[in-house]
Amino acid sequence: MNSSAILLLNCPDHQGIITEVTKFITDYQGNIIYLDQYVDTIDKMLFMRIEWELDGFLIPRDKIKEYFSTLFSHRFQMEFNVYFSDVKPRMAIFVSKMSHCLYDLLARYKAGDWNVDIPCIISNHEDLRYVADQFDIPYYVWPVNKDHSNRKEVEKAEMELLRKENISFIVLARYMQIISDEMIKEYPRHIINIHHSFLPAFIGANPYRQAYERGVKIIGATCHYVTEELDAGPIIEQDVVRITHKDTPDSLRLKGRDLEKIVLSRGVTKHIERKILTYKNKTIIFG
Amino acid sequence: MNSSAILLLNCPDHQGIITEVTKFITDYQGNIIYLDQYVDTIDKMLFMRIEWELDGFLIPRDKIKEYFSTLFSHRFQMEFNVYFSDVKPRMAIFVSKMSHCLYDLLARYKAGDWNVDIPCIISNHEDLRYVADQFDIPYYVWPVNKDHSNRKEVEKAEMELLRKENISFIVLARYMQIISDEMIKEYPRHIINIHHSFLPAFIGANPYRQAYERGVKIIGATCHYVTEELDAGPIIEQDVVRITHKDTPDSLRLKGRDLEKIVLSRGVTKHIERKILTYKNKTIIFG
Amino acid sequence: MNSSAILLLNCPDHQGIITEVTKFITDYQGNIIYLDQYVDTIDKMLFMRIEWELDGFLIPRDKIKEYFSTLFSHRFQMEFNVYFSDVKPRMAIFVSKMSHCLYDLLARYKAGDWNVDIPCIISNHEDLRYVADQFDIPYYVWPVNKDHSNRKEVEKAEMELLRKENISFIVLARYMQIISDEMIKEYPRHIINIHHSFLPAFIGANPYRQAYERGVKIIGATCHYVTEELDAGPIIEQDVVRITHKDTPDSLRLKGRDLEKIVLSRGVTKHIERKILTYKNKTIIFG
Amino acid sequence: MNSSAILLLNCPDHQGIITEVTKFITDYQGNIIYLDQYVDTIDKMLFMRIEWELDGFLIPRDKIKEYFSTLFSHRFQMEFNVYFSDVKPRMAIFVSKMSHCLYDLLARYKAGDWNVDIPCIISNHEDLRYVADQFDIPYYVWPVNKDHSNRKEVEKAEMELLRKENISFIVLARYMQIISDEMIKEYPRHIINIHHSFLPAFIGANPYRQAYERGVKIIGATCHYVTEELDAGPIIEQDVVRITHKDTPDSLRLKGRDLEKIVLSRGVTKHIERKILTYKNKTIIFG
């Protein structure tokens, strides 16, 4: 497969931007293989994803960003990112004690479903080392004290590892610790969490217990980017499953696990494919 | 079709209760045509619905309640209700300005789907009188002042009508007013509301606007019994529909309408069929 | 609201078509308010929907089709249609004996949800005249003999009415008769049917009975355009609902009704909004 | 946890059977911890699942079957099976080349979600040996010739292994070979398959290609027991996911995988929990 460039942009909507951008790529002999755009008619914003083959494109790949910036960025108040399909993102996974999301992620990785590298798994517990071992992925444990007194040191060590491994984004696969603001700032819109409820219902701890107490007839799971405010970041994907009065907190936990792993993996897929734009506190997900 | 008796009961769970109750009915020549029970293993409570044909049953229908009370109620700390299939419940509908739920309810009623009478529709606006007229159902309007200063009088008039019409339960079909505690006390677990969100998310006003602001990927609707606390009563039924970043508050409103009417009508169906038991703040829904 | 032009096109995909078309509209001062396109990478076909305001557009509305044809149609082997938002399509409804879909369509129509006129309802039975009367819509009955011996005459009369009323598309709202090839040819991709199964499962008569016999755990409904082959036309919309072993053919029929009416109305909505393109035996549905 | 006995029965429905059976267990001091029954009012059949604690039950476990047979079986034309919660079923997995279902099954097994043993994985290809190795489960390969000339020998070898390992049921985790009638007879209603379509739509090969060609808007997966007729056995579980015109056969395959693995695992869970009764060509699934 040929390498391609992926451009994700957003800017205030004006007539002609789509024409200009597609003309630019076509004029310099880029073969467009994907184009999708969306206009937010309330905020009057344009969002766009274009992908074109690098083969034969007259502008060298390391100049694309500069040219695009010069020609369009200021003129249209455009924010944009360029990615290349042959540059694999590097993903770190954080886990605590539950294996279902981790297995789901690693099974896809091992099957070659994703254009991604996973150089490390990080945890506050030893429990899931055997899973990492099964897949031959280095597993790092930094236990957090009960009083959280060593959290700063732990985060420092984690950050060093993330930098050393050149990690591009983080997946919290039922990681039961709060992420510090420092780490969030280092990875803005690049930390993906799975929350085991249909957000914004049941924020915080024990959502299945909360759902049981409230007597809902449907439970959900939510994949979102982590921001400073707990469980309040941009939502990437949600799904639900029907329950009945017969369900207990335990059976909800079991049913919820299937939701959690599928919803998380769908979100991670979209992120790896560069199909997510964030704007304000929301996501635009291209198809 | 023969008339039948429907018994809904709940009590602390003990071995043998199901045996005793079914034996009682069978011994006195009642032909059981429906039996479903559920044991809440956490609260150790038994919930049961039995329906049997009155034809040939040795205990006269007006004595069933007394006999059942004498033989089982005290002994098993049982709460129960007896209904008869040939006694149609009488349903009042409250509406404001939106017609979709009202049309859905009345279309089912007119098609003969429900064993129910609808002797009146009550509103705070004239807007939907034409719908009531289409179906030849009396339409009563008591406008509520903007400052709600006349709410007591309005409720008094409404209550008089409900009593005069011998109303057994109330359906709020997108009725945009708060129901007073007095009315709730008069119809405990007998006022059915449709809330246009996936409760407990987006309680209160403008849930579609709230959903839009939060950027959820799924919206819902919730049918529940009205209790003193706003949008917090026992949930009868919920359903959801998938949305995308392309949806605006207006398109959410449109998509939500289909959810609202179907979810409300499912809840009303279960109520009319006497298939709902409430316990604590939850519902047990028999199949 | 200003009037707008809606262009639906498909053609073999070539670089630059989107640019050319959007440039054409923008150059002549059309304000584009909607643009969506989709490239079928397997068949190498481009599908596109553009909507722009007529106000200020330099080409008179009655010349748009000609200009577009001259400039693009031959050059790009393009098939296209132009619609105007201020020209209401005229919809005929065919029914037999069941009211649920008819009520659902008419409730939306009466609430003003749709930019459509409904000048007539056509049936082979008197049963639903009362519904037409409730909504003050002329109701025409042509009974079909049991041996179908008068079907030609009936269709002729129906066709005359459709022409007289200048009907642009037909909705079969649980109409239990086969539509003749002549009528299909007169309204190609303009007759919308609701089939009460998840097609292509359970084609033909009694799909709920078939679903019951097969023991499926989910039932569905399918809205599709009618073609010469029974239940085999392009699918517009489908949806499903979960069932259990407790369901009987009768309860399936009841549950299915809610699906049928919602799925049919969703399909009709998309058709009225000019958001459907058909290609081969499939639909492209714009968002 | 205490051991319990699980009784699954079906018989023609008569008044009093539930009373008799529950009384029998209670009289001999069995503590009932689960009771669910269902009456098929069309076929007039009763289906029942009862579970009671063995601790304190007066009839020895190896006599339960005999007593039950003597007291009820002939009298009520009852078919029944007794299982014990402390007897783990032994499950064999058959695979070909795709890993997603296998990983899903083994991740649950390894996490201890299931009361089951998995002593062997059987395949016609070497491809998935690495997965078996990751989980330390013996992996047996018997390649089938292209002309299927050695199928009899292969099946003979497989049957020997199944007997040697005392296998109680078989899971076909995307095993792309036909199972012989001999094996089906040896494991009646005990071979669980996942078919990658919403049966009975798209029976046979390449269902995703078929779904693509037909232009459906929803795809599904079906977990069913294998019978002599291809893809026609009793359905245990189904689920669906929404697709659009943008989906290709490849993207359907990807989306389908998540369905397949979840639907298969749900079916296997119900089988392991002894919550499935089959009757005619259908399943009764207890909650």
Q: Are residues B206 and B146 in the same domain?
A: yes
Q: Are residues B233 and B254 in the same domain?
A: yes
Strands A139-141 and B31-40 come out as unpaired
Non-local CB neighbours of B219 within 8 Å, separated by 6+ positions: B197, B198, B208, B211, B240, B241, B243, B252, B255, B256, B259
The ipTM estimated for the assembled molecules is 0.95
* A136 close to D (CB below 8 A): no
pLDDT of residue A1: 64
Q: Are residues D165 and D32 in the same domain?
A: no
pLDDT of residue B22: 87
Q: Are residues D187 and D270 in the same domain?
A: yes
Relative orientation angle of helices D100-110 and D249-272, to the nearest 10 degrees: 30
Mutation test of the interface with chain C: which of A2, A13, A17, A18, choosing the one with the most C Cβ atoms within 10 A?
A18
Closest-CA residue to A53 (of A16, A20, A8, A86): A86
Domain that holds residue A200: 90-285
pLDDT of residue D1: 63
- Put simply, the chain D residues between 247 and 266 with a CB less than 8 A from any chain A CB are 254, 258, 262, 265-266
Stretches where chain B sits below pLDDT 70 are: 1
Q: Are residues C152 and C280 in the same domain?
A: yes
d(CA B205, CA A58): 55
Q: Looking at B60, B84, B108, which one is the last position of a domain?
A: B84
**From C99, C246, C287, residue closest to B107, measured CB to CB:** C99
Flag whether pLDDT at A75 surpasses 70. yes
- What are the phi and psi torsion angles at B273 (to 5°)? -80, 0
Q: Are residues B118 and B15 in the same domain?
A: no
Q: Are residues D247 and D125 in the same domain?
A: yes
> How many inter-chain contacts (A to B, CB under 8 Å) are there?
79
Nearest residue of chain D to residue B44 (CA atoms)? D33
pLDDT 10s digit of each residue in chain C, 287 long? 689 999 999 999 987 788 889 889 989 999 888 989 899 989 999 999 999 999 999 999 999 999 999 999 989 999 999 999 999 999 999 999 999 999 999 999 999 999 999 999 999 999 999 999 999 999 999 999 988 899 999 999 999 999 999 999 999 999 989 899 999 999 999 999 999 999 999 998 999 999 999 999 999 999 999 999 999 999 999 999 999 999 999 999 999 999 999 999 999 999 999 999 999 999 999 98
* D246 close to B (CB below 8 A): no
Judged by CB atoms closer than 8 Å, whether chains meet at C35 and A18 is answered as yes
Q: What is the pLDDT of residues B89-127, one digit of tens each?
A: 999 999 999 999 999 999 999 999 999 999 999 999 999
pLDDT of residue C107: 98
Q: Measured between beta carbons, which residues in chain D are less than 8 angstroms from residue B23?
A: 16, 19
* Chain B nearest C-alpha distance from A82 (Å): 22
**From A107, A134, A254, residue closest to D100, measured CB to CB:** A107
Closest-CA residue to B270 (of B36, B17, B11): B36
Q: Are residues C72 and C147 in the same domain?
A: no
Provide the CATH number for the domain around residue A15.
3.30.70.260
d(CA B48, CA B12): 12
Relative orientation angle of helices D249-272 and D207-214, to the nearest 10 degrees: 130
Tell me the catalytic residues of A. 231
Decide: B281 and B233 in contact? Cβ < 8 Å: yes
* C239 close to D (CB below 8 A): yes
* A22 close to C (CB below 8 A): yes
Q: Are residues B219 and B94 in the same domain?
A: yes
pLDDT greater at residue C230 or residue D139:
D139
pLDDT of residue B1: 64
**From B235, B248, B285, residue closest to A216, measured CB to CB:** B235
Work out the mean pLDDT of chain D and round it to a whole number: 95
* A81 close to B (CB below 8 A): no
Q: Measured between beta carbons, which residues in chain C are less than 8 angstroms from residue B108?
A: 100
Q: Is the dihedral of CA A179, A182, A188, A190 positive or negative?
A: negative
| Residue C88 Cα distances to B245, C85, C115, C192, angstroms | 29, 7, 6, 17
Q: What is the pLDDT of residues D42-79, one digit of tens each?
A: 999 999 999 999 999 999 999 999 999 999 998 999 99
d(CA B205, CA D133): 57
| Residue B267 Cα distances to A4, B97, B186, angstroms | 52, 21, 20
Q: Are residues C133 and C258 in the same domain?
A: yes
* C134 close to B (CB below 8 A): yes
> How many inter-chain contacts (A to D, CB under 8 Å) are there?
41
Neighbour count for residue A166 (Cβ, 10 Å) = 9
Task: Specify the DSSP class assigned to residue D73.
Answer: I
Q: Looking at D84, D103, D131, which one is the last position of a domain?
A: D84
The dihedral region occupied by C29, where left means phi > 0, alpha psi between -120 and 50, and beta the remainder, is: left
* D287 close to A (CB below 8 A): yes
Report how many domains make up chain A.
2
Burial class (CB in 10 A: 0-12, 13-18, 19+), B166: exposed
Judged by CB atoms closer than 8 Å, whether chains meet at D26 and B15 is answered as yes
**From B15, B18, B32, residue closest to D31, measured CB to CB:** B15
Q: What angle do CA A200, A205, A211 make, to 5 degrees?
A: 60
Q: Looking at A65, A84, A103, which one is the last position of a domain?
A: A84
Confidence class for position D171, pLDDT limits 50, 70, 90: very high
* Chain B nearest C-alpha distance from A151 (Å): 31
Q: Are residues B193 and B71 in the same domain?
A: no
Mutation test of the interface with chain B: which of A8, A216, A248, choosing the one with the most B Cβ atoms within 10 A?
A216
Query: What distance lies between CA C280 and its chain's CA centroid?
Result: 16
d(CA B263, CA B232): 17
| Residue A278 Cα distances to A18, A274, C34, C283, angstroms | 19, 11, 21, 30
Largest CA-CA distance found in chain D, in angstroms, rounded: 64
pLDDT of residue B18: 85
Burial class (CB in 10 A: 0-12, 13-18, 19+), D224: buried
pLDDT of residue C23: 87
**From C40, C201, C237, residue closest to D217, measured CB to CB:** C237
Provide the CATH number for the domain around residue B213.
3.40.50.170
pLDDT of residue B140: 98
Q: Are residues D169 and D263 in the same domain?
A: yes
d(CA A36, CA B51): 58
Flag whether pLDDT at D112 surpasses 90. yes
